Homo-oligomer: A and B are copies of this chain.
């Protein structure tokens, strides 16, 4: 039998069968009352998942398109933003700012660490002219999570808006857009929202709209948020959206809403707890100092190249986990457990790692990691 495939990477993530079938339905015209009704429904459902009353804007792009839209619509060239950087995705904020001539004040920590609220507090005090703070909810490159609630309290006391890259994590991790004072919250379709890539979404607060309206001339056409807002008055988009993906998203969102977003967060917390316990029982060390619940990242054992482990997992067992990127390649293993994943998928991943390490001659007791994870699931 060909190997059964299990996708356990931090994006794209598996998509529910019902959603996949929805994507196979005949294509339809999008300038209709039916589609406007559909788009309106999906955006309302997303508000529940974002925990916001703010307007949500859909974009046909990768998640990066939403990050770019957030920054360039609200911060003019020559102005200053504070970029909180704990990994590759935090770096993206700095790179977008640079591309648009926005001055980036960098607050960074070594990979594996999380930026602490005190660091932001100092940066805000040193740079009272900063127009925005750019943060990352789940830094997928290292597995750390940030205390966005604390960042939000700090930014809310200043004129700066808080922009959060929640591409990886929103829908899996606690993210209370309104309560946490997130002014622009960005996400993508291919992570916890259980859809293929191609759509991005962002929520915009009143404070952020004020910043956007103050911007004299945003260098933006395709990502013009004011134009998007105007179209949304009729549940429409300025340009042809990836409308079949929006139809599919409706199906995936209903699953999240049926469970309840807070229940999803709790389930994800349990998954993370189980995955950490499983790996640690095998003697593997967690990489992030402040891990988040969307994925579990562990260091490869000393003397073992994680690339070899990951290749074997894929080729022998159909288990697709992710490697580290850039300087972390070969050094870590990233197991994502957000989206359409259940507890047995996590057991499968840990079982696979046990088998591969054992076959490579690394001293692991086969079954020990799985048992440790299962014990977590056995507790209510």
Q: Is A378 an interface residue (CB 8 A)?
A: no
Copies in the complex: 2
B62 touching A217, Cβ below 8 Å: no
| Cβ 8 A contact of A30, one of B12, B27, B28, B64 | B12
A7 touching B27, Cβ below 8 Å: yes
Q: Mark A1-40, 1 if CB is under 8 A from B, else 0.
A: 0000101010111110000110111111110000000000
How many Å lie between the Cα of A60 and that of B62 in the bound state?
7
Interface centre among A27, A29, A240, A322 (most CB of B within 10 A): A27
How many Å lie between the Cα of A20 and that of B68 in the bound state?
31
B residues near A63, Cβ cutoff 8 Å? 239-240
B240 touching A190, Cβ below 8 Å: yes
A62 touching B239, Cβ below 8 Å: yes
| Cβ 8 A contact of A196, one of B62, B95, B197, B242 | B242
The residue on B at minimum CB distance from A14 is: B27
A29 touching B62, Cβ below 8 Å: no
A12 touching B27, Cβ below 8 Å: yes
The residue on B at minimum CB distance from A28 is: B7
B residues near A188, Cβ cutoff 8 Å? 240
Flag the segment in A44-52, A129-137, A202-210, A221-229 that touches B. A221-229
Q: A349: shortest Cβ distance to chain B, in Å?
A: 14
How many Å lie between the Cα of A243 and that of B64 in the bound state?
15
Looking at chain A's contact residues, the main secondary structure is: loop
CB contact list, A252-304 vs B, under 8 A: none
How many Å lie between the Cα of A61 and that of B198 in the bound state?
8
A95 touching B12, Cβ below 8 Å: no
Q: A367: shortest Cβ distance to chain B, in Å?
A: 28
B68 touching A12, Cβ below 8 Å: no
Q: A329: shortest Cβ distance to chain B, in Å?
A: 11
Q: Is A330 an interface residue (CB 8 A)?
A: no
Q: Is A55 an interface residue (CB 8 A)?
A: no
Q: A254: shortest Cβ distance to chain B, in Å?
A: 18
Q: Is A320 an interface residue (CB 8 A)?
A: yes
B242 touching A64, Cβ below 8 Å: no
Q: Is A219 an interface residue (CB 8 A)?
A: yes
A62 touching B198, Cβ below 8 Å: no
Flag the segment in A96-104, A117-125, A145-153 that touches B. A96-104
B61 touching A197, Cβ below 8 Å: no
| Cβ 8 A contact of A220, one of B99, B239, B244 | B99
B residues near A95, Cβ cutoff 8 Å? 221
B residues near A11, Cβ cutoff 8 Å? 240
Given contacts A62-B239, A198-B242, A245-B198, contact A26 B12 (CB under 8 A): no
Q: Mark A88-112, 1 if CB is under 8 A from B, else 0.
A: 0000000110011100000000000
What are 25 A-B contacts defined by CB distance under 8 Å?
A5-B28, A9-B29, A13-B27, A14-B26, A15-B27, A23-B244, A27-B190, A29-B320, A60-B60, A61-B222, A62-B239, A62-B240, A64-B240, A68-B222, A99-B221, A100-B219, A188-B240, A190-B240, A196-B242, A196-B243, A196-B245, A197-B242, A197-B244, A198-B245, A242-B242
- Other A-B contacts than A20-B26, A62-B222, A188-B240, 8 sampled, CB-CB below 8 A, are A5-B28, A7-B29, A12-B27, A12-B240, A27-B190, A60-B197, A196-B244, A222-B223
Chain A interface residues (CB < 8 Å from chain B):
5, 7, 9, 11-15, 20-21, 23-30, 60-65, 68, 95-96, 99-101, 188, 190, 196-198, 217, 219-224, 238-245, 320, 322
